[in-house]
Each structure stands twice: as structure tokens, then as C-alpha cells.
Amino acid sequence: MKLSIIVPVYNVEPYIRECLDSIKAQTYSDFECIMIDDGSTDKSGEICKMYADSDNRFRFIQQQNKGVNFARDIALQKAMGEYIGFVDADDYIDKTMFSVLMDNALKNKADIVICNWWEIGENFCKLSTHYTIAGSFAKELAMQYLATDNMPSFLWNKIFKKYLLERPQILLTAKNMGDYSWMHHIFHNATNFFYVEQELYFYRYRAESIINNRNLAKMLQRYTIAKERNSFYKLYYPQLLKEANMGLFKHAWNLCRAYSCPLTLPEKEIYLEADHFIREFANEYVQLMPMGKKERLSLWFYVHFSKGGCGKR
């Protein structure tokens, strides 16, 4: 078997059929689909079981709710494919997605193959193209794009050689923002990269999910994880430290422009560190990164007119 597709499932009853139907309709047939239900309280698990009962390419696993990263790790332990792909249970894919990705992986002996995607919502469908590369590209360029977030750390628009995901504890390092916390380790261990200029994945933009992921605790954790990635680049790719600082700046700025300083430790210390980094790196960031006029003005006021730290608001 060449490909294992992992689908973590949690309370996605309105979307799961469309997701699984799109996998079932793949023109690439040499796959298994591992659906792992992370303690759903709706009918998501029942629907998954129906697919497993009717198609032997689909395997169903149930567990108590432990989080998406733990679910992915369990599925990886069961996976039999040479390559691994991921599909989120509220999204769906083009019927040719894995045929295109696998064909390019095998022809080019690629460790990681990446494609474009569509963002879809109730009233919109938007193309997302982030890369100015085509075909095979060098590891150094992959690490550079990843450092600045010009290559987002999503699992779902990529396939990976399985060995890249078998490093101990890679998938359990963070409860939040898991893709971001692993991807630089995965890229670091890969050699050959390939980019496909086709939009093959349909990412569903759900407003309730975005809102739920923007509370202060999660924003602080995201900055902390971004800082860990920055430290990784300092150690292994010091020549890309400027790019890594650009990636860290985005998370510091998202945190500090959205929230006032927490009053309790250790949250306060994390916030103050992010605030200091913004002030230290703002001029360089503005010179290096394209920014809208409104965001540029907002950053300028923050740096020059706020009091700084926990006394600024």
C-alpha cells in the first residue's frame, strides 16, 4: 500500500459525509483511509463506521477525547502506507488530489509534495496560492519559506514520506497549533521537496472555529510555540534567522495588538517578551514584509505612542 490518509474526527456531523465521499471518489485507489473519532458526541462516529463497513479501504478507530494531535499520533501508529496524507473532517478534496500528489512523489522521489488550495465559506470561494516556486525545490528554500510563514505549516495540503512523521513525540508537542509546532522538524528531516501548481484541497472557513481559537491563552501559547521555532532556526539555520524573526514577529504582533497585558504570571512575562520583540524588530519587519497601509499605521502608533509593556493601555 502506497498511501495512508488520516482523518481526525470530532463533532463534524454536518460535514463528514462530504469529506469522506471526496476521499472515496479519488482517482488514486491504492490507499487506506484511517478515520479516528476523538470522542464525538454527535453522529460523526456512526457515519464513519458506515463507511468502514461498506468499503474495506476505510478503517475506523474510536477513542476518548484527547485532542487532535493525539488522534493523529494513534492513526500514524496504525498507518501502513509509504506516504501519509491528512484531511480535516470538515473539509473535502478534489477527486484527483492524491493521484496528482502521489504521481509527482513517485516520479520525483520526493519526501514531501505540496499543493495549493481553496478557502470556502458560506458566501465565498477563494484561491490560496502562497508560493512562487514550481516543481522540485531545494531544502534551503523550503526552510526559508517556512520560516517566514510564506509556506504555511498545514498538514492537509501535503503528503509526507512516513518516516518523517515517526520521530518520537513529534505529534504530541502541543495541544494548540500542532501543525506549526512540528513542521520545521519534519522539513528539517526531509531532503526532496516538490510543489504542484494546482488547487486540490478545499479548506472550510468556519467562523466559530476561528473565534474559539483567538482567546488570550491560545494566543500566548501560539507565541510561545513560535518562539520555540525561532530557537530551532537559531540552532540549525542561523543563516535564516532574519526570516525566522519575521515569522516570530507575526505571532507577537497578533498577540499584542489584540490583547492588553495580562496581570498574572507567567502570562504577563510572555506578553512582555512579545511586546519587547515587536519594538526591537518593527523597523526591520516593515522594510522586509509587505503590509497594508492600515496595519503599517497601527504598528507605527503601537511602537511610538503606546507606553510599552503592561502600562501601555
d(C-alpha 98, C-alpha 120), whole Å: 20
**pTM summary value:** 0.91
Cell 509509504 locates to: 82
d(C-alpha 236, C-alpha 185), whole Å: 10
pLDDT at 108 over 90: yes
Residue-averaged pLDDT of the chain = 90
The predicted-structure confidence for 206-221, as pLDDT tens digits, reads as follows: 765 544 456 899 899 9
Question: Of the ranges 78-87, 103-112, 205-214, which one carries the lowest mean pLDDT score?
Answer: 205-214
Amino acid letter at 286? V
Instruction: Please list the residues that pair with 284 across neighbouring strands.
Output: none
Q: What's residue 312's pLDDT? A: 47
The predicted-structure confidence for 113-128, as pLDDT tens digits, reads as follows: 999 999 988 777 777 7
Which of 43, 5, 44, 9 is CA-nearest to residue 22?
5
The predicted-structure confidence for 5-45, as pLDDT tens digits, reads as follows: 999 999 999 999 999 999 999 999 999 999 999 999 999 99
Question: Are 85 and 3 a contacting pair, CB within 8 Å?
Answer: yes
Q: CA dihedral in degrees (115, 96, 208, 214; nearest 10)?
A: -20
pLDDT at 105 over 80: yes
Cell 472557513 locates to: 205
* Residue scoring higher pLDDT (50 or 171): 50
The predicted-structure confidence for 136-158, as pLDDT tens digits, reads as follows: 999 999 999 999 988 899 999 99
* Residue scoring higher pLDDT (119 or 172): 119
Longest dimension (CA), the chain: 63
pLDDT at 254 over 50: yes
Domains and CATH numbers, the chain: 3-210 (3.90.550.10), 214-311 (no CATH)
- 3-class secondary-structure state, position 8: strand
Q: Could you tell me the sign of the dihedral formed by the alpha carbons of 74, 76, 80, 85, in that order?
A: positive
Question: Are 102 and 28 a contacting pair, CB within 8 Å?
Answer: yes
- What band does 289 get if pLDDT is binned at 50, 70 and 90? confident
d(C-alpha 25, C-alpha 21), whole Å: 6
- What band does 64 get if pLDDT is binned at 50, 70 and 90? very high
d(C-alpha 20, C-alpha 139), whole Å: 33
Cell 481559537 locates to: 213
Neighbours of 84 (CB within 10 A): 24
How far the first Cα of the chain sits from its last, in Å, is: 58
Instruction: Please list the residues that pair with 61 across neighbouring strands.
Output: 36
Question: Of the ranges 50-54, 55-59, 119-123, 306-310, which one carries the lowest mean pLDDT score?
Answer: 306-310
d(C-alpha 137, C-alpha 146), whole Å: 13
Cell 497601527 locates to: 298
Q: What's residue 215's pLDDT? A: 86
Report residue 52 as a C-alpha cell: 468502514
